[in-house]
Structure 1
Amino acid sequence: MKAIGIVCSPRKNGNSDVLVREILKSSGIKENEIFYPNEMNIKGCQACYSCKERGRCAVEDDMGKIYDAIEKADIVVFGAPIYMSGVTAQFKTVLDRLFAFLGPAPEFVSRLPKGKRAAFVVSQGYEDAKEYEAHINQMKNAIASIGFEGVRVLVAPGLNGLGEAIGKPDMVKEARIIGESLVRA
């Protein structure tokens, strides 16, 4: 098995990053890789629909590395903090570009092989875990629509300091449970 993480935070070693790494580690999968879109050259979707005709995105940038890794992975763990009441621009850019994995309208059937599993880690400074629930569910559903099965979500509220999630035993435990469950599914 192979697993990858896609940490869409501008802060490397931040809370989303810490929890994504915990999920990957607890999965027990030795072959894993983490991508940091903030450090990559990834442009926004151009809405050219070339991916519907060619089966591949026409934009040639670092997103190609993520596409290849997703195609080879059994498990993908996305991480994105909440900024300004929504996910980061880095996550939204990656999510928009994942549109390339969907076939033509009106069906938009996923081109990904069946059985790929995903998790979505959402860290936030605000203490109330339910504050952004509707938005988080929308992003979870978007990940599922790309072709991932049984998307698990870890909402990690009340985190502001860099990497402070590692000092929250309940959050780390939940991340580990998710990692173990992704392998068992």
Structure 2
Amino acid sequence: MKAVGIICSPRRNGNSEVLVREILKSSGCKDVEVFYPNEMDIKGCQACYSCKEQGKCAVNDDMQKIYKKIEDADIVVFGAPIYMSGLNGQFKIVLDRLFAFLGPAPEFKSRLPKGKRAALVAPQGYENVKEYETHLNQMKAAVASIGFEDVKVLQAPGLNGLGEAATRPNLMEEARKIGQSLAQA
């Protein structure tokens, strides 16, 4: 099995990375690749609809590398911290560009092969796990609409320190369970 991690946090070794890597490790996938969109040349969606007319995105940037890996992967794990009451901008840019995997209107059917599984990791500083639940459900639905089945969500509240998630046994265990469930689906 193949897996891809897309860590949208600008902080290396931060909570998003710690939890994404734990999910990937627990999935048992031997072929794993991790991307850091903050360090890549990825432009926003240009709304040109070339992806609907030509079947692929016309923007020639580093997102092309991610497209290929997602097409080949069985599992994709997104890491996106909560900033200003929503998932951060780096994740939103990637999510908008994944629109290229959808066919033309009005159906917008996924072009991805069936059976792909995904997880969304969302660390947040605020302690209240319910605070951003509605927004996370919207992002989960958006990821599912691209063609992923049974998208898992790991909310990780109360994390402010760099890599603090590694010191929270309950979060690390939840990450391991998600990784194992993605592998078994």
Detail structure 1 runs of 4+ shifted over 6 Å in the superposition.
none
CA distance in 2, matches of 1:5, 1:100: 19
User: Secondary structure of 2:33's match?
Assistant: strand
Shift of 1:12: 1.1
Residue in 2 that maps onto 1:31? 31
User: Secondary structure of 2:165's match?
Assistant: helix
**Runs (5+) with no aligned partner, structure 2:** none
Q: For residues 87-145 of structure 1, give each alpha carbon's deviation from its aligned partner in whole angstroms, at most 9, with x where no partner exists.
A: 11100000000000000000000000000000000000000111000000000000000
Residue in 1 that maps onto 2:173? 173
Query: Which residue type is aligned with residue 159 of structure 2?
Result: L
Q: For residues 126-177 of structure 1, give each alpha carbon's deviation from its aligned partner in whole angstroms, at most 9, with x where no partner exists.
A: 0011100000000000000000000000000000000000000000000000
Q: For residues 9-57 of structure 1, give each alpha carbon's deviation from its aligned partner in whole angstroms, at most 9, with x where no partner exists.
A: 1111110110000000011111101100000000000000000011100
Does residue 115 in structure 1 map to residue 110 in structure 2? no
Residue in 2 that maps onto 1:126? 126
Residue in 1 that maps onto 2:138? 138
Residue in 2 that maps onto 1:20? 20
After superposition, residues 34-113 of structure 1 pair within 5 angstroms as 34-113=34-113
User: Secondary structure of 1:106's match?
Assistant: coil
Shift of 1:82: 0.2
TM-score, normalised via structure 2 length: 0.99
Does residue 11 in structure 1 map to residue 11 in structure 2? yes
User: Aligned residues, how many?
Assistant: 185
Query: Which residue type is aligned with residue 52 of structure 1?
Result: K
User: Secondary structure of 2:144's match?
Assistant: helix
Residue in 1 that maps onto 2:164? 164
CA distance in 2, matches of 1:52, 1:25: 35
CA distance in 1, matches of 2:79, 2:171: 14
CA distance in 2, matches of 1:124, 1:21: 17
User: Secondary structure of 1:32's match?
Assistant: strand
